[in-house]
Each structure stands twice: as structure tokens, then as C-alpha cells.
Chain A
Amino acid sequence: MIYEGKKKIWADYQKEIPEDHYFYVRSCIRQSFFPASEVTFLDITRNKLGKDIFGTEHHTTCGGIAYHSDTIPQETVMTIIARQFALMKKYGYENYVCSCITSFGLYCETLETWREFPELQQKIADNLWKACRLEFAKPKFLVHASDLIFKYRMQIAAKSKFKLVNQKTGEPLRVVEHIGCHYSKMFPSKGVGGAEYPYVLVGMIEAWGGQIIDYPERRHCCGFGFRQYLIKGNRGYSVSNTHKKFESMEPYKPDMIITNCPGCPYFLDRWQYVIAETQGKTYGQDGHGIPVFTYEEVAGLVMGYDPWDLGLQTHQVSVEPLLDKMGIPYDPAKKFLGKNGKFIGEPQKPHCLK
């Protein structure tokens, strides 16, 4: 591996990310499965770093899941998106940050389509006026939430209490980064570092002390693939994809996986359970899985948040071995206590995944 070569490519894919003042849009999947991640994002950016990140309860889904599952037409999804952008304008913002990669990809696709076909943009603007009486607008800067954390990575590192380093050995942790397909594969120039060697998560890992693993199937999809999962008959494809990735990364003995997409952490995490139960195979140490995190969770851990406040108890693959490696203190007794201190119930232990 020639690091200089990668740096040359990263230099070609610089993305302009404004420092502050963003209109924030949540992700359907993330607020359901990893609600703490978005909360952490807002807490870090607003409270720890003092940024202006505006959120509103009036925004909706971007329509991406329905669009990629072939259930709504493109014009509909574009109108939904136009409404989101209009809300941004209405609240006085021109920088748009979204929490979801599917949304990010769809926004990029939509903006490119409007650029290529102005008549379609006009039609959508008309639709928007007819439906919502909102004024059509386009964001000046469109970024993904991971782009922002990437932007603030050094500020976070400066405030960090822990590093991505094995406290016992002093060795950097071996980290697999997994980028959501729709982040830059469709429009390499829209992602930090391009599509082939994206830098957005690599930059965070480097800044926080970890070591990147470059394994052969790093480009491969997590396996979600919308229809591949949503239709039960296709789920074999979905889990086979994930299986392929784990088989490929296994020899590198990763300590953790970090992702920037809503579906990826979910499937990389849950499918480890399904693989364990159907193939009898686990990929971590001593029968554990490889813990999978969102970038916000990792930022939170680095900054010293309580693991249970980050929602790590909702993961399928237990995170304790990693917390031990990083030297992060945690109270096992509090793992399944809710915010109000009440017991939220403990899931049944899987057969072979520890």
C-alpha cells in the first residue's frame, strides 16, 4: 500500500463543506433503530462545538425507500424533496445537512436531474406550489452529516477523552470503514475522497487514533439493497452479500466497523446474528461478533459519553469487548435500564454469537 498514492486521489476529491449554519434533516431508519446517534450528533455539534444546526418537526421522509423499492414515481419523490428544500429556505438556511445516505444520494440525483432538465425542475416547482404553497429553492451546499463530523474531526479529537487505541497493548485499533453505497458511488465528486477510496470515515479514524483496514471487499454493499431485504424471498441475497464482506475482512482481524449509512450498521450488525445462527460462524474474538458503530457513536465514545447513553445496548453484537479495549468505563448493571432508570427488558441470548 502506497499511502502517498491515496493522498493524491483524496486531493482530487475535495468537497467544500461550510463550517456552520445548517438545516438538519433526520433519517427514517436511524431515528427508529439508532435514535441516540442523531441525538448525539445534535448534542456534539450544538452543545459541544457550538454550531448552529437547525431541526424542525415539519420535515418528512425524503421518499427514498419507496422510490428505490419502485413504489412511487420519480416526480412524486422530487416534489417531496422540493418541499424539504423549501422548508430550509423558509427557516432561513441555505446549507442542508441530512442524516441519511439514501436521502443524500437521492438529493444529489435530484439536483443533477434538475440541472440537466430545467423543464422538469420547473414542473416540480409548480407541483410544489400547487400542493404546499411553498416557494421552490435549492440548497447552496448539500452535505451529509458524516461530512460535518469529518469537518469537525480535529475539534472532536481535541476534546477527546479516549482514543481508538487498545489501552492494553498501545496498538491502534483496527477499524473497517464502511461507506453507504449512495454516498459517492453515483457521484464521486459529491463525497469526501471520491468513490474508490472515500476519505470521510478514514479521516475520522485517523484523527481519533485508529488504523484503517483496506480489505478486498471494502467496496461491496452491506447487503440491504432495498428490495433484496424488503421482500422476504430475496433476503438470502442480502445476507449472502454481508457474508461475503465478513469473509473478506475476517483475515484482517478488525476490532470494529464504522459506518455512515442508516442501513449498513443495521445489516452488518443483525446479519452477523443470522450468519451465526445459520452457518455457525462468528467473526470477532472468542465467539464474539465484530461490533458495528455509527460515526456519531464512535465520536461519542471518543468524547467520553456513557456507552448506554449512546444506545449501544440496542446493538446485536456486544460492544463490551471493544469498550474494554479502549478502556472506557461502563456499568454492566445499567445496560438495560431506560433513561428513567426503569428496566427495559433484556433480550434472549443467541445460540452461538456471544
Chain B
Amino acid sequence: MKKNILVIGGGPAGLEASANLKRLGYNVILIEKDKQLGGHLAKWDRLFPDGVSAKQTLNALLDEVSGVNCFTETEVQQLNVLEKSYNAILSNGITILADAVLLASGFDLFKAEKKEEYGYGIYEGVITNADLEEAFREKKLPAKHPQAIGFVHCVGSRDEKAGNPACSKVCCATAVKQACEVKEVYPDADVYCFYMDLRMFGRHYEDLYLKAQKEFGIRFIRGRVSEVAETTDGRLQVKAEDTLSSKPLKVTLDMLVLMAGMRPSESGKSVGRQLNLTTEEDGFFSSADNLLSIQRSKLPGFFYAGACTGAKTLPDTLHEARSAAIEIDRYIKEKFSEK
């Protein structure tokens, strides 16, 4: 008989893992709390470093999961550990007996309004990275040409006061990508990136940075924005320190994009509470081993994939999803061949 695997979360990690588990011959049940599959990927317009369409990428992932039992708008209501399996009661009333569970609950974007000094939700021109992606996707960029646009890196990341000392890994590349995109739309605007360190670690990321500097003339200012205020004509006055010249700096902008970082998702946390899963100081789930078995939790048969164990890029997430499928396959084979 086919073994049941419950995958919680229909983002890239959940989709890629489900596709692979299905291919390995398991009966996969994928549940997603939103109306549609895809997680944050579905809300994005283009992806760094090459600017490929998020929609196409998502469609490629979705093509692979045809035949998997998907329940959207569904959450786990109760999750119990049985002797050799897990018993899950879903919000749609279905009860599932799963031989293994994969948690792919991903991340929530940091709530930018928590950084009160940036005035998100208070000043018109202050938006988040997600808002900008939506504007690109829906083609709803402000028609009035802005003269100056700023990007604030590390909003809610590397910030103990915001509750997240860790780096969110994707914001630097996203900010540089978005800065280039915005400059393409408004070539006459001055575009500034306020960064602390530029973490352009991936393949082609540095090229993106160089392109942003040389081709788009984007100005990188090393220093975190300290505060934002509105000017008499409704523009944004931004203060920061240019730490490279050790001088305070101010500039008036028309749009300020906050690169909201990654926080553990609320829905993931609620699953974690039911099983008393441990988290690390950053709030993300702790793996059995951070080097050797990131996909394993401390509970046998309960696995992780993607950003529920910390900020990850899309390729990282997909790799983890594939390796989680292999780990689960190995677990099931070992567990059920003992008899």
C-alpha cells in the first residue's frame, strides 16, 4: 500500500517536495492556507539575479504537482504523534493518517510598520518590497515620475530591536534588482540603496550589483536609514549616516522601498506549538543538525524544507525540498522494512 505523506505549505518548497515524493511513489497530501498555491512566489513579479518571470517559474513548479492531492484554504487544526505515524485533523474536516510529515511553512515578511521610524502605513511614499513587486505585477506603478527613490536594506533583519538579529539573505539582491527595475521605468530618477553590507553571495549577484552601479547609476550609501519624515510638499525626507564618510546625510525622496526581511510564518508556528517543536533564538525551527541533517527535526518522521528553518533563497529552498524528499524516502524505507 502507498504510504501517506502530509506536506504542510504550498509554496515552492512544498510544491517541489510534493512533486518529488509523488515521483518516488508516495501518496502526497499537500495543504495550503491561502486560496492559491505558490506562497510568496505567487506574489512576486520577477526574480533575481536574471529577472526571470516569477509566474513562469511558479507554473513550472505547478506543472510537476499535477496528481498530488492539494487542499487549498486549509490549515492543520490538530496534529498528534502516534506510534509510527501522525494524525492530522484539517480545517476542512478531513483527518489524515500520515506516515511522515513535511513542514514547508516558509516565512512571513517582517511587518514593516513595526519599524515606526520609517513611517510605513503613515507616509504615502513608503512601501515594502512586496508592495513594489505587486505594483510591477499589476502594472500599477505611480504614473507621476518620481525624482528620487530610495531602498532601505535590512528592514527587520540584522536588528535585535526588531526581534531579528539574522540576515534575511535575499533582500540585498532583491533591492538591487528592484532598484534596476525602477530605474528602467523612471530613467531620470535618482535611485539610492541604503545598505549596511552588501551580501551579493550568489552566482551572478555581483554582476547584478555592478550592472546597477555602472549601467543604472544607482548610488549605494552605506548606512541604515534612521528616520523618515514628510516635507511640506508631501515628499519624504530621509536621514541616514553615510558611514563611509562618517557624516550624517539627508535626502528628499518620492518613494522609499523597505526591504522587509523574513520572519518565521505564523502558520508554521502554530503547527510547531502543537508538537512542541523547538526553535532557535531567531524564531525559526531548529533542525536535528545544522550541517548534516537540516531537513530532519528532532521528531522521527517529521521533516522540514525551505525557509521554516531560516531565511533562504529560492534555489536553496528547492534544493532542500528535493533533499527532504530523499530523506523522507530513506526514513520510510528504514522504518517500514524493519518488520
Binding site for B on A (CB under 8 A): 1-2, 4-6, 8-9, 194-197, 214-219, 251-252
Is B64 an interface residue when CB atoms closer than 8 A count as contact? no
Known: A194-B116, A197-B116. A251 touches B232 (CB 8 A): yes
* Chain B, Cβ-Cβ closest to A252: B232
| Residues in B neighbouring A195, C-beta threshold 8 A | 116
Of B116, B232, B239, which is within 8 A of A9 by CB?
B116
| Residues in B neighbouring A2, C-beta threshold 8 A | 121-124
Instruction: Count chain B residues whose beta carbon lies closer than 8 angstroms to a beta carbon of A.
Output: 17
Contact with A along B119-146 (1 / 0, CB 8 A): 1111110000000000000000000000
- A214 B116 Cβ-Cβ under 8 A: no
- B121 A8 Cβ-Cβ under 8 A: yes
- A196 B123 Cβ-Cβ under 8 A: no
Known: A9-B116, A196-B117, A197-B116. A216 touches B122 (CB 8 A): no
Which stretch (B211-219, B223-231, B315-323) binds chain A? B223-231
Of B113, B117, B122, B227, which is within 8 A of A1 by CB?
B122
| Residues in B neighbouring A8, C-beta threshold 8 A | 113, 121
Of B116, B124, B229, which is within 8 A of A217 by CB?
B229
| Residues in A neighbouring B53, C-beta threshold 8 A | none
Known: A194-B116, A216-B237. A5 touches B122 (CB 8 A): yes
* Chain A, Cβ-Cβ closest to B233: A251
- A5 B229 Cβ-Cβ under 8 A: no
A9 to B122, CA, bound (A): 10
How many A-B pairs with Cβ below 8 Å? Answer: 41
Least Cβ–Cβ distance between A53 and chain B, in angstroms: 33
Question: Told that A9-B113, A9-B122, A215-B229 touch, could you supply 8 new A-B pairs with CB distance under 8 A?
Answer: A1-B124, A1-B230, A1-B234, A2-B122, A5-B119, A194-B116, A195-B116, A216-B231
Question: Which of A5, A197, A218 has the most chain B CB within a 10 Å cutoff?
Answer: A5
| Residues in A neighbouring B227, C-beta threshold 8 A | 219
Of A1, A194, A217, A219, which is within 8 A of B123 by CB?
A1
| Residues in B neighbouring A1, C-beta threshold 8 A | 122-124, 230, 234
Least Cβ–Cβ distance between B272 and chain A, in angstroms: 26
A24 to B239, CA, bound (A): 39
A251 to B117, CA, bound (A): 22
| Residues in B neighbouring A218, C-beta threshold 8 A | 229
A83 to B117, CA, bound (A): 37
Question: Which of A5, A196, A216 has the most chain B CB within a 10 Å cutoff?
Answer: A216
A5 to B232, CA, bound (A): 19
A1 to B239, CA, bound (A): 18
* Chain A, Cβ-Cβ closest to B119: A5
Known: A9-B116, A194-B116, A196-B117. A214 touches B124 (CB 8 A): no
* Chain A, Cβ-Cβ closest to B252: A216
Question: Which of B117, B119, B239 has the most chain A CB within a 10 Å cutoff?
Answer: B119
18 contacts between A and B (CB under 8 A): A1-B122, A1-B123, A1-B230, A1-B234, A5-B119, A5-B121, A8-B113, A9-B113, A9-B116, A9-B122, A196-B116, A196-B117, A197-B116, A216-B229, A216-B231, A218-B229, A251-B231, A251-B232
A251 to B232, CA, bound (A): 7
A197 to B229, CA, bound (A): 11
A217 to B229, CA, bound (A): 8
* Chain B, Cβ-Cβ closest to A250: B232
* Chain B, Cβ-Cβ closest to A13: B116
A267 to B232, CA, bound (A): 25
* Chain A, Cβ-Cβ closest to B227: A219
A251 to B229, CA, bound (A): 14
* Chain A, Cβ-Cβ closest to B250: A216
| Residues in A neighbouring B117, C-beta threshold 8 A | 196
Least Cβ–Cβ distance between A189 and chain B, in angstroms: 13
| Residues in A neighbouring B230, C-beta threshold 8 A | 1, 214, 216
Least Cβ–Cβ distance between A30 and chain B, in angstroms: 29
Contacting A at CB under 8 A, from B238-297, are 239
| Residues in A neighbouring B113, C-beta threshold 8 A | 5, 8-9
- A6 B232 Cβ-Cβ under 8 A: no
A62 to B34, CA, bound (A): 56
| Residues in B neighbouring A215, C-beta threshold 8 A | 229
| Residues in B neighbouring A251, C-beta threshold 8 A | 231-232
| Residues in A neighbouring B239, C-beta threshold 8 A | 216
A333 to B119, CA, bound (A): 48
* Chain B, Cβ-Cβ closest to A219: B227
A194 to B122, CA, bound (A): 15
Least Cβ–Cβ distance between B232 and chain A, in angstroms: 5
Least Cβ–Cβ distance between B118 and chain A, in angstroms: 9
A217 to B231, CA, bound (A): 10
A216 to B119, CA, bound (A): 12
- A197 B231 Cβ-Cβ under 8 A: no
| Residues in B neighbouring A6, C-beta threshold 8 A | 122
Least Cβ–Cβ distance between B245 and chain A, in angstroms: 20
Least Cβ–Cβ distance between B126 and chain A, in angstroms: 10
| Residues in A neighbouring B122, C-beta threshold 8 A | 1-2, 5-6, 9, 197
* Chain A, Cβ-Cβ closest to B118: A196
For the complex of A and B, the 9 pairs showing the least CB-CB separation, nearest first, are A216-B229, A196-B116, A5-B121, A5-B122, A216-B237, A251-B232, A2-B122, A196-B117, A6-B122
A215 to B239, CA, bound (A): 13
* Chain B, Cβ-Cβ closest to A215: B229
Least Cβ–Cβ distance between B107 and chain A, in angstroms: 23
A1 to B227, CA, bound (A): 15
A120 to B113, CA, bound (A): 37
Least Cβ–Cβ distance between B162 and chain A, in angstroms: 13
A291 to B153, CA, bound (A): 41
Least Cβ–Cβ distance between A243 and chain B, in angstroms: 15
Least Cβ–Cβ distance between A9 and chain B, in angstroms: 6
| Residues in B neighbouring A219, C-beta threshold 8 A | 227
* Chain A, Cβ-Cβ closest to B237: A216
A8 to B122, CA, bound (A): 10
| Residues in B neighbouring A9, C-beta threshold 8 A | 113, 116, 122
